[in-house]
Each structure stands twice: as structure tokens, then as C-alpha cells.
Structure 1
């Protein structure tokens, strides 16, 4: 307690010294404001009705100070700092939703694929009014995150307002371990790849390279769909490296801040070998930050067709600054710009092809739609055409797949799942049609019928 009483004369001396040293008016104003803060703190200590926890009051002042800057700057306690490290390394326990402050309201940026939030139907743009009955209006972003997270298997109730609803609705979700597998992939057809990047974490670039190598081993790549929908971002360097995989030259993104170290330009490097096939990039209102960097770079360099709806519009860079005793400061230090020099802050990336997700497709199909894309040749143990039988290598069995029956059934299940997705997801379906058209136009597609 006593250290705060000592602060006043020290600050007074510093103020007087700054005047005698003819320092700038701004510096004098800072010392004057600090003196005001110390006076207020002292009066609280002396006269507040209950004895106060000084640390709690000071932390509240710090959070208030950062909250006056922008929605993404925040003070992190040692516990918050540890949670951040866990999240970027690959997992955390919670409901699986990226949140932000929009116009002072806690807003869902995107649910993470396969998590309780996505399964319960939480969408990008949903406003979280309450968490366990407590109003979120007075919460900081990190306080809200902490309340949403918790022990595995425990419930949390969120009150959600959506623009088209007349009244807010309550959702009770059970917290789970959220594994952040950032890259998933499959073939839509031989040579046509579907790659889903759900966020940018420490292993994303490595995982994407492995995915492309595995796809290339199966068939020469004739085209790919890169799905960045509901990708809330993550590590800046990983987003840059992901864009670099598909580009062989030019600027990917530039950042501009107040200081020289924030003036950076990130450029593509030749040699990845994935810049010569058609590419369609899927985005929506939940695509933010890092995913906007990737989409913006590919769009400006005309490397791919951007398809979907306008992205979230987060065009700022946060730097994590460590503080003593394990705490940290997440501070907005720069804004980033696409290769053409445009800032996407609050405007987002506008798609080349605007394709909203239709309400009919958005609804869950019950029963599942017919599977139009599964053909006779895809079925395990199908009869061979006589011409194919004559050409069959001696080391293959009747299935034509090397005798691994379990692998055949898995392949069939993958085909069924993708067929169902194409039926239900009009954006993905449009992207696939567009991709095949681009492949035909480029002369890469060769019929294998």
C-alpha cells in the first residue's frame, strides 16, 4: 500500500525536472496524467467504502487504457499468456469460437470447424450478449475468452443475437478439447484437390506442403480449391508462407507502423512448384486477418479466383510484448496492405465471384441428398471392363486396388462424404465447376473417362 503514497512526491519531482530540462509538451502531459492517476488511486485507497485490492484496481486501469485503443489490444495475465501459447501450438479447451469486439459488442468472427460452436450453429457475425447470464458489454476480450474456456465436459451458456432474429437465443455448449488441425485435404476428382485451412498456427505451412505432396503423388495436380471460409487468422508468418507456396514472385503483404521495424514488405520466393495450376479460393464473412492476407495476395497477383462473400475486414497486426512475471501485452503495432497497396481494414476482401451461401443449402439435409457423383467404377469389387482386365498388372487382385479391402471402403466413404458436401454446399459446388472450367481453358485437363 505505502508504495502508492510515495509515488506522488516522486512524480512531482519528475514533473519539475521535465520542465527544467525543457522536454516536450507531450512528455509533460504524460507526467501530469500519471500524477492525476496516482492522486485518484490514493483517494480510493483512503476513502473507498471497502478495503481495495490494489493489484485488481491497477489491472482494471491497464485494461481500460488498452480498451480505449482498439478491439485487439489487450493486457494478458500470465495465465492468459500461457493460453495464447497453447492455442498457437495446437490445442485448447473451450467451445471453439474466434471472437472480436465490433462497435463495442462481443462478436463471433468464426466458429472452428468440428467444434461445439459449429455443431450448435453459431455463425460469423453473431453477437454474444451474455455468457452464463453475465452481460458481455463490460467485459474485455480476454475476460470473455477466459469465461468461454474451462474444463473439458463443463457447460457454458451463451446468449446470442443474430440480425434476422427478433429475440436473442440461449445456447448451452459443452466444452471440449479443441484440436487445431489446421489443414485437411482430399480429392474431388483425380487431379482436382480440395484443401481446407481452418487457421494459421505453427505447423500450418508444413502441413500444407505435406498435403500438396501427397495429392501430387496420387495424380498430377490439374487444379485446387483453397477453402479459407471461417478461418479467423492466426500467425502472420504462417499466412505469408502459405501465400508463398502458390506464388513465385511479387509482394505478398506489406505492413506499416510508426517505427522502422514495423515497415516490412514480405515477398514470394520461386521454387515451391505449386504456381502452375488453376486455383479457386473460398472466403466468407468469417475469413479474417491471415486468411485475408492470403486471399488478397492471390487476388492481386491474379493467381486464383476469389469466390464467396466479402471477408471480415481485420487489417491490423498485433505484436505480443512480454512483461515481467510471465504477463504480456498484445498491442496493435501495424496495419497491413495488399500487394496493390489497399488496406482491407473494415472493408474486407471483395470476391471476384460473389456467391452467397443459400438458405436452402445452409439447412441440414434430412434425409441426405442423392449421391450423384458416385459411379460404378468407384465401387469396391466392381466388375472390370474386359479391356481393363487385359491391361491389369499381375500383382493386383480382382479389386484393382492392391487387395486392401479396408482401404477401398474408406475410399468409398470419402467419396460419399464429398458427394454430400457438394450437394449441400453451393459455394463449394460453384468453385468446383469454376475450377474445372479454368482447367479446361488452360489446357491442363485431360479426360480420363
Structure 2
């Protein structure tokens, strides 16, 4: 396929980032070793000729590509039709499912994140659970995309999940009803002391607009005196959305992150600019921001499940001194992927760069260390520990060595239902930081002055 006809997506955690934001250069020819290529062709011919049954030629080539990608880092992979549909789902913000994200780690199907108020969330599915079987069928040997296809289905139908947790806990089976889910990613909670907690569950296609709507609502006759930006359990998402979120609190032109790779277009400095978060021909969304957003006191909450684009936003705010980070060290997913289409129904997702915070700190396999370390009030035990990026097989190593004590620490799986509650220690510390006059024991004494509301855009 010719370079100029390829539709590309720059990715964060397997979610699209329009490549129009970065320059593209003509691909340089690559010398293919003749001996290795001939070995592959010989193997292909041997299978076609001698295998016990006639082999599917298309499947052989597809699996050959898939196998080649599996030799790289865990975020580089072959994408089939279902995978590409998932990418489009992220952009549209609507899909049929139960509200979970999964990934394969050491042969296990691990639930990476659970969307708040989704069918899975309501049935008690939690991040850190592993799926043993779906509708009674074991998942051994399946890819994460095959697992996802079994979970997806028609709205109103049910899927049966058999789940396990680490430790000596028994298996449990839950029946979860599929639904058409509209991903609203921003919620607002009004706290004592004129503090607002803005939670971003994921960076999706509508996140920037939802955040701007939230900030405009907060810009009333009695403006807030501080904002707590909650990025805990945020698995990442669209990089343009993340840049727009950073731009809501940082000035135009401020660097959000830089990226470094082998090809020229992967070496870039991404700043708060419509070039990097806007759509061609559309108005600058940040022009609708109320003025107070740029100077209102800010605190950011992160944990071990804050990944990728969430780490990028947190790192930018921290490096620019715009606000302090509270919580635990983040996940450590600091690489960028590009999708290169092969056909209309297949593509390759390839890691092309590492990204760094504005001050040049590497995120990959290290994560972001908060300014104020706050452990969760209640840990659910060893069975609730989560994996980090550095735990994944074949993960892209950090350029610099990670201290062994930090690398060996694993985060506790926090239930998002506890966020914003009276026992939320990280939130308590952030509120005291923003409103020193408010006694710490009172900071969450009457945490709800209003209902935590999901902001919905007109027509959504």
C-alpha cells in the first residue's frame, strides 16, 4: 500500500490519535534479508504441500504476521476487523458490551478497567479480576480480541463470566446483561469549601467537550476555590483528548510531552495547540474555556491504574508546577503506537516512540511518582494487586534503570466506588492542600453538597 494513501492513527494504549497532528515522511526502503525471507516462503510451501489437511492460505499469512508482531512489545500487534471496530468505538463513544477492558498478561485474561455504572460494574466485576471462562467455555489460548468478541453481542442479551482473584478465593460466576453504552467520561462532585472534584474516567472522543461544559458550569456566581482532577483508574485513551485536557489548565504553547523514536515523524514536541487537539476546520474548543480554569488552585489524584494518556496529563501538570499530584505511582505505559492499515479489515499496530514529560522524565516502565504519596485507606489483600507495565512479558524497558524497590512494588486495585467517599484519603489530602483553612477531619465530613452528576452534551 502506498504511503500517501495510508490512514494512520497515533495511539495511546491501543486507542487512536489522528496522525495529522504529526508530520509524515515517505518511507525509506528496508533491506529484506534474502535468506530469512526464503525460509518463510519454504515453510509456507511445506505447510501447503504436506500438512495433514488442506490449510487456509489467508489464515496462514494472517497468523504469520500475528506471530511476527508477538515477538515485539505487548502493545505491538496485528489488528483484525473486530479490533478496528473497537478503535472506531473509542472515537464514536458508543458500543455494545458490558463495560470492561481486558489484556493478556502471562497467559491470563486480566480485567484492566471497569467503566463506572456499566453493567459489569453493577454486577461487581472489578479491575484485577481475571476471566477464566465465558459462557462456560475456557479462554486458554485465545487472544484478547477473541475474548472481547465473546463478550460483545446484542443489547439485552446476557454473557456469563467465570472470574478468579489471586489468593485462595473460590471462582465466581456472574451473569451480566449487554447494553448499548454511551461513554460519558467526565463527572463533577461538589465538595465542602467550594472545592470541585472532576473525575475523568477515560480520554474519549467527547472528553474535551464534556470537561469544558463542566468548567463552564463551575464558573457561576460563586466560583470554585479549587479543583481536584481525579485520574485514578483512568487507563488512557485518545491523545488529542488528553492534550485538550492538559490545555484546559495550562497556557497555550505549553509543552505537554515529547516523543522520541527511530523514524522522523515520531520525534516531536506536543504543545497546547489546536494543531494537536483540534479537528481540521473546527473551532478551537479551548476558546470556550472560562478564564478561571487557568489559575484556579489544582490538585491531581493518580494511582497504579492511571495509565498512558492519564500519566501524560499528570506529568505535564506536575512538571509545569500547575498542581501537586496525590496518590500512588502510576502504571508506567509511556509508549506511542501507530496503526498501519494492510487491508480494509486488517492493520498493524506498531510501537514507534517513547514519550517523555516536559522536563524529560521517561514514563515507560517507570510511571509518574506523585508529590504526596497517599496509600489507599483499605487494601483488599494480595488478591487485589494489579500488574504494572513492567510486569508484562516483552515490555519495552525503560531507558534508564528503575530502582529495584520501586520496580517491585505493585499497586492495589482500588474500587472507583470508594472515590469521593469519606474514606478517600487521597482526596482528603488534596482538599486540605487546596483549602488549608478547612480542618482535615471536616474535609470530607459532608462530601456531597450536590449529586455527582454525569455531564451530558446536548443531543447525547
TM-score (norm 1): 0.72
> CA 1:52 to 1:120, structure 2 compared with 1: closer, same or farther past 3 Å?
same
Aligned with 1:263 (options 267, 281, 293): 267
Other-structure match for 2:426: 427
Paired with 2:355 and 2:418, the residues of 1 have a C-alpha distance of: 38
TM-score (norm 2): 0.71
> CA 1:323 to 1:312, structure 2 compared with 1: closer, same or farther past 3 Å?
same
Aligned with 1:318 (options 337, 342, 350): 337
3-state SS of the aligned residue for 1:296?
helix
1:28 Cα offset (Å): 4.8
Other-structure match for 1:65: 68
| Kept in 2: contact 1:289–1:314 (CA 8 A) | yes
Other-structure match for 1:244: 247
Moved more, 235-244 or 187-196: 187-196
Other-structure match for 1:44: 47
3-state SS of the aligned residue for 1:310?
coil
| Kept in 1: contact 2:193–2:438 (CA 8 A) | no
Root-mean-square deviation (CA), in Å? Answer: 2.9
Paired with 2:305 and 2:83, the residues of 1 have a C-alpha distance of: 24
> CA 1:263 to 1:79, structure 2 compared with 1: closer, same or farther past 3 Å?
same
> CA 1:120 to 1:208, structure 2 compared with 1: closer, same or farther past 3 Å?
same
Aligned with 1:85 (options 84, 88, 96): 88
> CA 1:420 to 1:109, structure 2 compared with 1: closer, same or farther past 3 Å?
closer
Paired with 2:204 and 2:361, the residues of 1 have a C-alpha distance of: 25
Other-structure match for 2:21: none
String of CA shifts for 1:163-201, please: whole Å, max 9, x gaps.
344555444432222221011223224732121111111
| Kept in 2: contact 1:281–1:307 (CA 8 A) | yes
Give the length in aligned residue pairs.
359
String of CA shifts for 1:362-414, please: whole Å, max 9, x gaps.
9xxxxxxxxxxxxxxxxxxxxxxxxxxxxxxxxxxxxxxxxxxxxxxxxxxxx
3-state SS of the aligned residue for 1:63?
helix
Other-structure match for 2:97: 94
Other-structure match for 1:194: 197
Q: Which one has the largest radius of gyration?
A: 1
RCO higher in structure (CA 8 A, sep ≥6): 2
1:58 Cα offset (Å): 1.9
> CA 1:252 to 1:360, structure 2 compared with 1: closer, same or farther past 3 Å?
closer
1:216 Cα offset (Å): 0.7
1:358 Cα offset (Å): 2.4
Q: Which has the higher helix share?
A: 1
| Kept in 1: contact 2:200–2:230 (CA 8 A) | yes
1:325 Cα offset (Å): 2.6
| Kept in 1: contact 2:82–2:149 (CA 8 A) | no
Name stretches of at least 5 consecutive residues in structure 2 with no aligned partner: 1-29, 274-285, 382-416, 440-460
Paired with 2:37 and 2:136, the residues of 1 have a C-alpha distance of: 36
User: Are 2:307 and 1:308 aligned?
Assistant: no
Other-structure match for 2:308: 289
Other-structure match for 2:225: 222
Paired with 1:49 and 1:79, the residues of 2 have a C-alpha distance of: 30
Other-structure match for 1:276: 295
3-state SS of the aligned residue for 1:423?
coil
> CA 1:266 to 1:68, structure 2 compared with 1: closer, same or farther past 3 Å?
same
Paired with 2:249 and 2:373, the residues of 1 have a C-alpha distance of: 22
Aligned with 1:109 (options 112, 117, 121): 112
